[in-house]
Amino acid sequence: MARIDDELTKGLFDKRENDVKHPGYEMEMRFYNLVAEGRIKEMMELRKNVPPSNAKERGVLSEDPLRNSMYHMVAMTTLISRSCIAHGMEPEFAYEMSDIYIRRADKAKTLKELNEVREEMISDYAHVMEKRNKQNVRSTQIILCLDYIHDHLHDNISIAELAEHVKLNETYLSKLFKKEMECSIGEHIRRMKVEEAKNLLRYSDMTSIEIATDLGFTSHSYFISVFKKETGMTPREYRNENFRKV
């Protein structure tokens, strides 16, 4: 019986020879984080802009196409459930969802049926996390504000801009937001930008300066100050401790 080392060496050689690569780690982890954060619009944009990988790129786990896709479905469901737990989903709830979808996938007789189960699984986890992130929000205007902030994290967002978007007076919107979110609009925007910065520091090779510029901070020093206030670490320290960790 051949050692795993022999199979590993041969597999890596074959992939190099045929120029076959697994999907990028950064892109994959970005996808899982968007699902876990309930950022459905951005998740869909990411998937739309990335061509679907073929079976060889994902890894051939079985010569049978249906079984191969089933194995990948199980792996994806497991990773999504763990990502959602890391973002606050109750573990038993996440595990039960995972078990339900794996059982449904196990009943699939065709690739089409299996793909439908996979897409439903992704959508359900993302929607549950989106709802969870808004569970304390009551008014339509604040929900619209949160959506707008999520969609414009890479821009400079002003209270006046948000007030115009939801058709409310700036002062009233600020009070309503503070009441429902228990923080000011500015504090929430900074926290969301820092969360996005953490993802980029963990899963991309963008520099701290590039991230600060991309997220609309007025200066790199201000970005460092805000990031350290929220996390207790500088961006450099955070990357050193968390780069490519799930």
Condensed to tens digits (0 to 9), the pLDDT of residues 22-62 reads: 556 778 888 998 999 898 988 888 888 765 554 444 567 78
Please tell me whether the overall predicted TM-score, pTM, comes out greater than 0.75 for this model. Answer: no
Residue-level pLDDT at 25? 72
Condensed to tens digits (0 to 9), the pLDDT of residues 64-75 reads: 999 999 999 999
Least confident stretch, 27-31, 57-61, 171-175, 239-243: 57-61
User: Which helix H or strand E contains 133, and what residues bound it?
Assistant: helix 111-133
User: Please, which pLDDT band fits residue 89 given cuts at 50, 70 and 90?
Assistant: confident
Q: What is the mean pLDDT of the chain?
A: 85
Residue-level pLDDT at 242? 82
pLDDT at 138 over 90: no
Q: Helix 91-106 to helix 65-86 angle, to the nearest 10 degrees?
A: 170
Residue-level pLDDT at 1? 41
Region 2-10: mean pLDDT is 53
Residue-level pLDDT at 50? 63
Amino acid symbol at 57: E
Condensed to tens digits (0 to 9), the pLDDT of residues 210-228 reads: 999 999 999 999 999 999 9
Cα dihedral value 149, 135, 33, 200, nearest 10: 40
Cα 84 from Cα 118, distance rounded (Å): 16
Closest CA to 121 of 43, 199, 50: 43
